[in-house]
Amino acid sequence: MTTTLTIDSLDVKRGTRVVIDRVSADLGSGRLVGLVGPNGSGKSTLLQTIYRVLSAEHGAVLVGDVPVSAMTPREAALSIAVVAQESPSDLEFTVYEAVMLGRMPHQRSMSGESDADHDAVARALDTVGITHLAHRDWMTLSGGEKQRALVARALAQDCPVLVLDEPTNHLDVHHQLALLELARSLGRTTVAALHDLNLAAQFCDQVIVLHDGRIVATGAPEQVFVAEVLTPVFGVRVDRVDHPFTGTPQLLFSSLRKEPS
C-alpha cells in the first residue's frame, strides 16, 4: 500500500497571517519524511492542511493525483490516517474500542463491526505492543500508553498515507525508538513532525526543514543536517559526528554565545 503525497505551491493563513508560504514538496512513496523546524515554523499548520483541518488559500495537497480538498470525508479518511499532537483525555472507551474507531471509514451504515474490523484492530494492537491494554479504560492510561493506542488506531484505519504530529511526545526513549522503527518499516508514505533532530537523522528517509512557513532545505538527513542549514534556522552551533553503531549523523548543539575566557 504505497502512494505519493504531493504539496503544490501551498499558502495557508491563520487569520490574516501567512503561516505557510508557497510550500511545495514531493514526499515520495512509502518513505518516512521528517518535518523539522523551530517552534512557530509552521509544522503543525502544514500537517493540519494535509489532513484537512485547515484549508489552503492557494495550492493543493494531493494523495496520488487526487486533491484532498476534492475528497469526501470518507474518501479522505480512507486515504490519510492521523496521530494528532493533542490526544483526547475523556474517552469513555476501552483501548480496544478506541482503536476500533479507526475502522469507521471502512464500515457501511448499520453494518456493524466485521471480522475484518476485529482482525485489523487485533493486528494494530499487536504491532504497537499494547494487546495487554486492550480492555483497559482509556482514562486510566498514561500519556505514553495513550500515544501508542492512537498509533494503533491510525494503523487500524489502514490508509496509504500516515501523518504523525510530534508522535514521540510522552514516550520514553525505548518507545520513541520502537515507534520510529515501526513507522519506517510500514512501507506507507509517512510524514512526521519531529522536534528531536537526532531521531529524524536516524530514522527518516527524507527531511524537510521549515522556517517562517517556508522550506529552507529538503533531502536526505546527511545532506540537510549541516551547520549551514541548521544554525540560521535554530540559532545554535551545530557539530556533527557519526553514530558509532548506526553510522547515521548525530548532532551536537551548543549556544552561539561566546563562552567567557
Instruction: From first to last of the 261 residues of the chain, give the pLDDT tens digit.
Output: 568 999 999 999 988 899 999 999 998 889 999 999 999 999 999 999 999 999 999 999 999 999 999 999 999 999 999 999 877 767 789 999 999 999 999 988 767 889 999 999 999 999 999 999 999 999 999 988 999 999 999 999 999 999 999 999 888 999 999 999 999 998 899 999 999 999 999 999 999 999 999 999 999 999 999 999 999 999 999 999 988 888 888 999 999 876 555
Predicted pLDDT at 258: 60
Predicted pLDDT at 124: 96
Domain chopping of the chain, boundaries: 4-225
Radius of gyration of the chain (CA): 19
Contact present, 31 and 219 (Cβ < 8 Å): no
Distance of CA 128 to CAs 156, 171, 250, Å?
11, 13, 27
Predicted pLDDT at 240: 93
CATH class of 4-225: alpha beta
CA angle 48, 133, 94 (to 5 degrees): 65
Predicted pLDDT at 210: 97
Closest CA to 26 of 186, 206, 197: 206
Predicted pLDDT at 110: 67
Predicted pLDDT at 1: 58
Predicted pLDDT at 29: 87
d(CA 192, CA 31): 11
Give kind and range of the element (H or E) at residue 155.
helix 143-157
d(CA 223, CA 34): 14
What count of Cα atoms within 13 Å lies in the side-chain half-sphere of residue 73? 3
